[in-house]
Chains A and B, each alone.
Chain A
Amino acid sequence: MRVDLPHLDDLVACPQCDTLHLAADLPEGTRACCQRCGHVLMSAQKTAVARIISLALTAFVLMIAAVSFPFLALDAGGVRNATSVIDAVLAFRNGLAFPLAIAVAFFIVVLPLMRLSALIYALGPLVTGRKPRPGARVAFGLAEKLRPWSMAEIFIVGVTVALIKVAGMAAVTIGPAFWAFAGVVVITILKDQLICRYSIWEALDKARA
């Protein structure tokens, strides 16, 4: 079926159900949802890019702190064992479980850092009104594709469960890295809520022109 259509750049198709919509300028602070399936198509927030960048930078610094400082320590019967995030990753280093150590390292440290760096690289120049860097599109696309595989927030819930399991048998000390990691999680959630794919692709397009 062929019909008379507006210019293709003025159309938005829902990525979830393929329904076509006409793109319109949204009033500040509102959201547009797909008419059929309700998926959020765009949300208008003027200062979003600047806020995304500042949150991403904060999360990046905190993540570095989270992997370098002591995370948790355990005391029982005069024996003390301190653990960092890296030690948690290395828990799987022996034998058949080794690939899992690599996977866990990616899920809780490498992928979150990659997403943050990609966002900073892709959107940084937009804040000061400069042209996007080469590869900015690839970087932003990558940051969005990696989203489900970046599991920092799940890790922190796992840590809570583990703490309750050992709290009965030994004294647990919570180190600075724990709070840094919790900070990374909260900031990442705030940042991801600000990301409106449609607006950012539009912004990247405008900055290139």
Chain B
Amino acid sequence: MSARTAGLVACRNCGQVHQIDTARCKRCDSPLQSRDAQSLQKVWAWLIAGIIAYIPANTYPMLLTSTLTDRSESTIIGGVIELVDYGAIGIALVVFVASVVIPVGKFVAIMYLAISVQRGSYRNQHGRHRAYDVVEFIGRWSMIDVFVVAILSALVQLATIATINPGIAAVSFALSVIFTMLAAQSFDPRLIWDADRTIHD
């Protein structure tokens, strides 16, 4: 049975169990909430912000490269194609997964979690919980591309021979990752299990 059905509330920070009307944890002083009533609202707000920020992240350049002979700008996808041209298929795959597959997959997964909880679905709870764990774990890895841009722009500053500078897409991409991380953190996974019918066994 769950703490809520037993008239109790658990601290998510330290695990201490209290009577349901307790406001703050006696052990670690965190605020207690049996369920986060605003969870879904916050999830949708952060998620939509994340999706909006992801659009300029793809259309504007991530890197501005200038060499003796020419200047070029590359977007996220452009950078991946460049790596494929070098023959670095493995690395191209890492960047593609981190900057395209993970962000888009996260948008879809968070939407699915939020919609299924809103509809009170009791199906596939284990699968949905796993999806939540994966989203929480993997979301931060999208930051790889921002760090690549940081290192490249710091390293490739060879006067007239070649310089690389960050493009504005790096900022919107970082914002998109931060917003989706906040969306995932706002989701209260206990909501997935509230529709559980086997709970009173």
Contact = CB atoms under 8 A, between A and B. Distances in A.
A65 interface: no
B15 A162 contact: no
A187 to B, nearest CB: 19
B155 A161 contact: no
Contacts of B152: 162, 165-166
Nearest to B147: A158
Contact of A20 (B8, B125, B145): B8
Given A36-B193, A97-B166, A100-B171, A18 B10 contact: yes
Residue among A97, A145, A151, A158 with most chain B CB within 10 A: A158
Interface stretch (A46-54, A73-81, A126-134): A73-81
Interface in B80-123: 82-83, 86, 88, 91, 94-95
B144 A157 contact: yes
B184 to A, nearest CB: 9
Interface in B24-53: 27-30, 34
Contact of B158 (A5, A79, A172): A79
A8 B18 contact: yes
Q: Please tell me the size bucket of the interface on A.
A: 35 or more
Interface residues of B, number: 70
A103 B174 contact: yes
Given A97-B171, A154-B140, A164-B88, A104 B150 contact: yes
A88 interface: yes
A159 interface: yes
A149 B162 CA distance: 33
A186 interface: no
Contacts, number: 215
Interface string A79-96: 101010001111110101
A209 interface: no
B27 A5 contact: no
Contacts of B143: 107, 151, 154, 158
Contact of B140 (A11, A14, A94, A148): A148
B1 to A, nearest CB: 6
A108 interface: yes
B17 A72 contact: no
Given A162-B152, A201-B16, A19 B1 contact: yes
Contact of B171 (A36, A96, A165): A96
A26 B183 CA distance: 35
A198 interface: yes
A12 interface: yes
Nearest to B83: A165
A87 to B, nearest CB: 4
A69 interface: no
Nearest to B181: A148
Contact of A205 (B27, B162, B168): B27
Interface string A131-151: 000000110110011001101
Given A77-B161, A201-B16, A166 B147 contact: no
A83 B151 contact: yes
B27 to A, nearest CB: 6
Interface of B: 1-8, 10, 12-19, 27-30, 34, 82-83, 86, 88, 91, 94-95, 125-126, 129, 133, 136, 139-141, 143-159, 161-162, 165-166, 168, 170-171, 174, 178, 181, 185, 189-190, 192-193, 196
Interface of A: 1-3, 5, 8-9, 11-20, 36-38, 41, 72, 74, 76-77, 79, 81, 83, 87-92, 94, 96-97, 99-100, 103-104, 107-108, 137-138, 140-141, 144-145, 148-149, 151, 154-155, 157-159, 161-162, 164-166, 168-170, 172, 197-198, 201, 205
